[in-house]
Amino acid sequence: MIKLCVFDFDSTIMDGETIDILAAANNASEEVANITKRSMNGELDFFESLTKRVKFLKGLPLLKVNEICKNLPIMPGAGELIEALKQKGIKVVVFSGGFHNATDVMQKKLNFDANFANILQHHKDGILTGEVGGEMMFSSSKGDMIDRLCGLLNLGKDEIMCVGDGANDISMFRKCDLSIAFCAKDILKKEATHCVDVKDLREILKFIR
């Protein structure tokens, strides 16, 4: 019986990559999108790719970041899926290698229970420094956080479902018995118990018992 569902954020709950959208607003779209693609395919270490990409956000006003994050596109079926899971008494948590600016806003919109992400550092005048810190900085971070939640909630692997799309989701997939690769990269599909290749999160309800 599933008691906890953990979702990746970018290209899973949110339809796109937050950092790519922010980079486009700072005239660094092509450079960052290329690094993102390589990272999600497992060609680059996640920490290295994250810190490289965030440097391209240097000089962006925090107010602009927050405005963009208020209007990020939601993946089709996300609201219905989360509502259905919560009706079953399942806790819904989001892990993101992205930023709280986006995940905190989306939590209010979609009503999931908690989220863990990173923080874009900024100067006192509200301008991004190009540095980042937080809870999801490394390729192992999502798996490590699953361990913490399991200890806190007293859960076993058979009570957890994870959903994601890229290489940095591998560590959490290895911590649960039900792992769903959603419109995912090949490197993650190899680690998944199930794959969904239709861009509709409601398809995941088929795997919940």
Query: What is the C-alpha to C-alpha distance for residues 42 and 184, in angstroms, rounded to an integer?
Result: 12
The rounded mean pLDDT for the chain is 96
Query: What is the C-alpha to C-alpha distance for residues 181 and 164, in angstroms, rounded to an integer?
Result: 5
Q: Residue 190: pLDDT above 80?
A: yes
Query: What is the C-alpha to C-alpha distance for residues 89 and 187, in angstroms, rounded to an integer?
Result: 32
The confidence band for 40, taking pLDDT boundaries of 50, 70 and 90, is: confident
The confidence band for 69, taking pLDDT boundaries of 50, 70 and 90, is: very high
**Per-residue model confidence as pLDDT tens digits over 135-161:** 999 999 999 999 999 999 999 999 999
Please say if 8 is a catalytic residue. yes
Task: Tell me which H or E stretch contains 115.
Answer: strand 114-122
Query: What is the C-alpha to C-alpha distance for residues 35 and 42, in angstroms, rounded to an integer?
Result: 11
pTM recorded for the entire structure: 0.95
Candidates 19, 40, 38, 7; CA nearest to 166 is 40
Query: What is the C-alpha to C-alpha distance for residues 116 and 15, in angstroms, rounded to an integer?
Result: 18
Q: What is the pLDDT of residue 14?
A: 98
Please say if 10 is a catalytic residue. yes
Percent of the chain at pLDDT above 70? 100
